[in-house]
Amino acid sequence: MIELIPAIDLIDGKCVRLTKGDYSTQKVYNEDPLSVAQEFEAYGFHRLHVVDLDGARSKHIVNHKTLERIATHTSLTIDFGGGIKTDHDLHIAFDCGAKLATIGSIAITSPVLFGTWLEKYGAESIILGADVKNGFISINGWKEESTKALIPFLESYINQGVKHVLCTEISKDGMLQGPATTLYKEVMAEFPECKLIASGGVSGLHDIKTLNSAGIPAVVFGKAIYEGKISLEELASWAEKQQKQ
């Protein structure tokens, strides 16, 4: 069964969402991300994807205290990304309770440093962030497009031992128009052992079912919850039925 990973995006310590990564589209959904995380936990979720949007824009971790609050007051397995650019940033993320760190831009701009982190912390603690626009990897909060095409980019790092990949199709993010299922299928066809996490565009439970049927290992979703397109109760019920099959 596909792993279900709800998301919390942070700006100024608040739970927000953007559309296509555009900060001018910021919408605050809750002033207290901890209460949101605790609700996810209450419905039986075990994972949480936390994104420091301030960090992504500032190029260093900003909302680590919020991460620490969530990690301290829940038992969720948290993967954290946004603004991790240095050894110090990565230490902060893990020290504040993240079990996994999502690294995107550094994998493009400083591949040697990324390789060092992969070796030091292990493949089970590092998620390769692959944010895609027009088939190419985008970096630095999606404001810059690199010259790296997705499949060769993934191949180079999977050959180095990367196991977890968070792939976001930027054109789908926050649009509630369905995920890039075809893209994720292509990735899985190329790298069947990859623990791919699909991200962007989930508009309802039907999209999660589609990804599950396509054999995608995991999915991150956020806006669909906050906009009432997905009921946590309905999702938890479906997940429970899947686990019993």
Task: Establish how many alpha carbons lie within 13 A of residue 42's alpha carbon, considering only the half-sphere containing its beta carbon.
Answer: 9
Instruction: Return all residues near 180 (Cβ < 8 A) that are at least 6 apart.
Output: 132, 169, 171, 172, 198, 200, 201
CA distance 211 to 155: 22
Catalytic residue among 54, 79, 89, 131: 131
Tell me if residue 173 is catalytic: no
- In one-letter notation, the amino acid at residue 92 is I
Query: In sequence order, which ranges of the chain are alpha helices (DSSP H)?
Result: 33-42, 53-58, 64-73, 87-95, 105-109, 111-121, 150-158, 181-190, 205-213, 223-226, 232-244
Q: Are 150 and 130 in contact (CB under 8 A)?
A: yes
Tell me if residue 9 is catalytic: yes
Instruction: Report the candidate in 67, 86, 69 with the shortest Cα–Cα distance to residue 78.
Output: 67
Task: Provide the pairing of β-strand 195-199 with 218-221.
Answer: parallel
CA distance 7 to 50: 6
* DSSP notation for 71-113: HHH---EEEEESS--SHHHHHHHHHTT-SEEEE-HHHHH-HHH
Catalytic residue among 9, 54, 89, 207: 9
Q: Which residues are identified as catalytic?
A: 9, 131
